[in-house]
């Protein structure tokens, strides 16, 4: 090995053979396995930053947690109660508002839906009805209950609850729907507004193409051509982090999983098929959805369609 050749062959060797030599400070392709293999090394930082693990440690609950107690206490005052009561109740301009039809019955017994759920990556190519899509969205994260809250200054506000649980009732995850082949619904990008139970039209066919371009999954793995819709989970992390700090990001990801499983079970119970699809280029998807990727970020996606 020539140390002074100007070409750092050592790093290439490391990458090719996964030699455990994290002290090599070179630019090169590094596998996740290399990083894992070198976790215990003294200079592991040369191979990998530890941001993911930093997140786990930064989001630990410690006792006493004075910052946490102070931050949470803010949420029991009248101002925040009113804010929470208005959550996601944004007025929808008439030209963007798309009414959803009544749900169809999803009568499959829960145990059977759990047993039957499987990732389905190929579909018949037939459209899914708007009523079926509406059912899936409502069962995934629709509003199912209301409760009156008394204000300290007198009077009442109404809190709303959904099918999926949410840390502090902050509901930081929104469902964006890409309608590819949904009966009665123009091809386009929509946002499900659970409080008013409507879709908000946010983009047309060109935006659909941009969303699809963000996915790296080959058509042989997941058939977007025969799918009827794509649901993208978009998180607003600060909704939870303002109250819970970094731990709030755990809640965001946890809640994404809750909503996603609700969605899969709803799809299964309707005799449709779905699969998770996390293989998207984040920056492209954010650009296509018109979100910044930090204050609002795509955290997951599900493809669904009619069974073959
Ligand atoms: C977080 C997550 C991300 C996933 N991403 C993809 C994906 O990008 N492409 C894909 O084909 N399947 C994806 N899947 C589906 C898994 O491959 C699938 O759940 C697994 O193989 C188990 O099969 P089952 O869902 O039929 O039980 C993902 C699943 C989860 C939970």
The CATH number of whichever domain residue 121 belongs to comes to: 3.40.109.10
Q: Are residues 37 and 83 in the same domain?
A: no
**CB 118 less than 6 A from any atom of ligand 1:** yes
Domain count along the chain:
2
Q: Over 80: is that where the pLDDT of 48 sits? A: no
**CB 221 less than 6 A from any atom of ligand 1:** yes
User: Which pLDDT score is estimated for 21?
Assistant: 54
Q: Are residues 127 and 42 in the same domain?
A: no
Q: Are residues 107 and 45 in the same domain?
A: no
Q: Are residues 143 and 189 in the same domain?
A: yes
Q: What is the mean pLDDT of residues 299-307?
A: 98
For residue 203, what pLDDT band results from cuts at 50, 70 and 90? very high
Both structure tokens of 209: 């193409």
3-state helix, strand, coil in the chain (%, to 5): 40, 20, 40
Domain membership flag for residue 14: yes
Q: What is the mean pLDDT of residues 41-50?
A: 68
Domain membership flag for residue 70: yes
- From the alpha carbon of 221, which atom of ligand 1 is closest? 11
Q: In 108-235, at which residue ranges do the beta strands (DSSP E only) sit?
A: 128-129, 143-150, 156-162, 173-179, 182-183, 188-193, 198-203, 229-235
Domain membership flag for residue 54: no
CA-CA distance, 103 to 105, in Å (whole number)? 6
Q: Are residues 184 and 238 in the same domain?
A: yes
48-62, 78-92, 135-149, 157-171: least confident range: 48-62
Q: Which residue has the higher pLDDT, 13 or 30?
A: 30
User: Which pLDDT score is estimated for 115?
Assistant: 98
Arithmetic mean of pLDDT over the chain: 91
Domain housing 151 = 66-306
Q: Are residues 153 and 288 in the same domain?
A: yes
User: Which pLDDT score is estimated for 29?
Assistant: 77
Domain membership flag for residue 201: yes
Q: Are residues 178 and 249 in the same domain?
A: yes
- Please, what is the Cα angle at 12 between 9 and 16, to 5 degrees? 140
**123, 275, 301, 305: residue to mutate for ligand 1 pocket, most atoms within 8 A of CB:** 275
């Amino acid at each position: 090995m020539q140390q002074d050749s100007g070409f750092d062959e050592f790093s290439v060797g490391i990458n090719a053979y996964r030699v455990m030599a994290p002290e090599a400070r070179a630019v090169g392709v590094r596998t996740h396995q290399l990083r894992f293999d070198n976790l215990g090394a003294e200079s592991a930082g040369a191979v990998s930053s530890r941001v993911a693990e930093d997140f786990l440690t930064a989001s630990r609950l410690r006792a006493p947690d004075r910052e946490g107690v102070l931050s949470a206490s803010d949420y029991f005052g009248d101002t925040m109660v009113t804010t929470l009561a208005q959550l996601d109740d944004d007025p929808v301009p008439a030209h963007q508002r798309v009414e959803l039809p009544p749900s169809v019955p999803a009568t499959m017994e829960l145990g059977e839906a759990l047993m039957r759920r499987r990732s389905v990556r190929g579909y018949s190519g037939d459209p899914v009805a708007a009523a079926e899509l509406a059912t899936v969205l409502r069962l995934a994260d629709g509003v199912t209950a209301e409760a009156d809250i008394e204000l300290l200054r007198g009077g009442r506000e109404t809190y709303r609850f959904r099918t999926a649980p949410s840390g502090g009732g902050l509901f930081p995850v929104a469902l964006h729907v890409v309608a590819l082949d949904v009966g009665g619904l123009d091809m386009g990008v929509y946002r499900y507004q659970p409080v008013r139970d409507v879709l908000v039209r946010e983009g047309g066919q060109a935006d659909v193409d941009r969303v699809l371009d963000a996915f790296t999954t080959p058509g042989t793995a997941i058939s977007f051509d025969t799918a009827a819709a794509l649901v993208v989970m978009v998180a607003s992390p600060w909704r939870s982090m303002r109250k819970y700090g970094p731990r709030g990001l755990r809640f965001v990801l946890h809640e994404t999983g809750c909503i996603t499983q609700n969605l899969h079970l709803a799809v299964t119970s309707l005799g449709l098929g779905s699969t998770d699809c996390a293989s998207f280029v984040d920056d492209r998807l954010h650009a296509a959805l018109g979100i910044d990727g930090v204050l609002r970020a795509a955290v997951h996606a599900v493809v669904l369609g009619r069974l073959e």
